[in-house]
Amino acid sequence: MLTIGDLSRVTGVKIPTIRYYEQMGLMAEAERSEGNQRRYGTHDRDRLSFIKHARDLGFTIEAIRELLALNAHPESLCANAHHIANRQLQQVRDKIQKLRLLERELDRISAGCEGDQIKDCYVIESLANHRLCCSDH
């Protein structure tokens, strides 16, 4: 059995986050020792590692809840998990596209700044006037 501190060290998940996952219902409430210390088994460690990996990949709490529900039913269709992963992939691609727009706009604004004083600074002027931007970001 692992204490919450041991579980934190083994998985790399901070103690408050473990407690949060318990409150959210992603992790079952831990068993308690006679001294009221939380105790976790290998199943809890594996589940927390699953959750952490999913969070590292950007999955939302709700998507993780869906994936855990699928995992609890091995007879479930893999297509359901595939759909959730594809939905996450599309969200990542959308974010990348937005970040590329931001990168281009920031590059353009930075390149346009040749003033010596703030009163002539294109960066400040651009931030004050959104119409100077080349794209809707």
Which of 51, 56, 57 lies closest to 87 in space, CA to CA? 57
The CATH number of 4-76 is which of 2.60.40.10, 1.10.1660.10, 1.10.1740.10, 1.10.8.350?
Answer: 1.10.1660.10
pTM over 0.85: no
Q: Where are the domains of the chain?
A: 4-76
Please state the rounded mean pLDDT for residues 15-31. Answer: 94
What pLDDT digit, counting tens, does each position of 36-89 carry?
Answer: 889 999 999 999 999 999 999 999 999 999 999 999 999 999 999 999 999 999
Confidence tier at 130 by pLDDT (50, 70, 90) = confident
The token duo for 85 is: 């992963």
The one-letter amino acid code at 57 reads L
Alpha helices for 25-121 (secondary structure H)? 42-56, 61-71, 78-111
Calculate ∠ Cα 67-45-83, nearest 5°: 10
Q: Which residues contact 48 (CB under 8 A, 6 or more apart)?
A: 7, 11, 13, 18, 21, 27, 40
> What local confidence, expressed as pLDDT, does residue 45 receive?
97
